[in-house]
Structure 1
């Protein structure tokens, strides 16, 4: 199993405000869909609850929560990092999709990072991606910068592979 993370971060590693994303960039959402479709995605409960239509189609959805009786239609529910990894053993690629606590927990085991770097600092950010030690990663691919027509935000993509 190959463990990957996919995330959009601002210049301070901000990823969210409360239970929502900092920005909605259409091309980034399409990239997310293209990369994760056909794979397993793992997320925390708050990230699952922020999905507008529930479980994402054409992907195996796994939700990690401490709530014993939690129900997430269309998703497998687990209570720990270990349980999530156990039920993914036979999956070729598993994407960690958030939120902050889940990213922090899984980062040591992650071998690929798919970053969208938004060239902006969101003062209202309350959730952050862990600090990246760039010495541990090789840049596999870079694209951009691009400008989102709707938000006017400049962003770029960086795909990293652990050394």
Structure 2
């Protein structure tokens, strides 16, 4: 199964200069719980924005058109078809985690959406691709807890694609 996992602000912002525009430990914890033991697919800029360090206990796949790209501890793939072939033979979930160009490539292939909505506006330069929400059913929505480290109201949503 292919799933998207991302966090966005009220206007759909997902990034700033290759990183997250906010600090929200609850979302980082949710991200870890959802992706541990799975395969994560990200673009080169997203990977480099994370310091070029593979996420532990996951299969890290970098999708790039650069045929000469190499990084330690990751698998490099060069096409949507290559990722889909991997996902088809993989027993667990293949999680697409960004950036927006990578999400765009897999819009027609995704089965589940894991979305964190942060009820705040931030400055940034990268937005989530537009989703046709008529194609999705909300399965779960859970408010995140606020505390001294998690200052922004947020909620975790899970969507399943309606039957095609």
TM-score range, shorter chain: over 0.9
Contact 1:26 1:148 in 2 (8 A): no
How big is each residue's C-alpha offset from its partner over 1:5-55, in whole Å with a ceiling of 9 and x where there is no partner?
100011111000121111121111111111101111100001111124601
What pairs with 1:45-124 in structure 2 (closer than 5 Å)? 45-52=44-51, 54-91=53-90, 92-122=92-122, 124=123
Task: Find the aligned partners of 1:144 and 1:73 in 2 and give their Cα distance.
Answer: 37
Compute the TM-score of the two structures, normalised by the length of structure 1: 0.93
Q: 1:70 to 1:148 in 2, by over 3 A?
A: farther
Which structure: greater strand fraction?
1
Task: Find the aligned partners of 1:89 and 1:111 in 2 and give their Cα distance.
Answer: 13
Tell me the CA shift for residue 88 of structure 1.
2.7
1:34 match: 33
What pairs with 1:138-157 in structure 2 (closer than 5 Å)? 138-147=137-146, 149-150=148-149, 152-157=151-156
Please list every run of 5 or more consecutive structure 1 residues that lacks an aligned counterpart in the other structure: none
Contact 1:25 1:148 in 2 (8 A): no
How big is each residue's C-alpha offset from its partner over 1:37-84, in whole Å with a ceiling of 9 and x where there is no partner?
111110000111112460111100100111121111111101111111
Contact 2:4 2:97 in 1 (8 A): yes
1:133 match: 132
- The count of residues paired between Structure 1 and Structure 2 equals 161
> Structure 1 stretches (4+) deviating beyond 3 angstroms?
none
Task: Find the aligned partners of 1:69 and 1:24 in 2 and give their Cα distance.
Answer: 33
Contact 2:2 2:87 in 1 (8 A): no
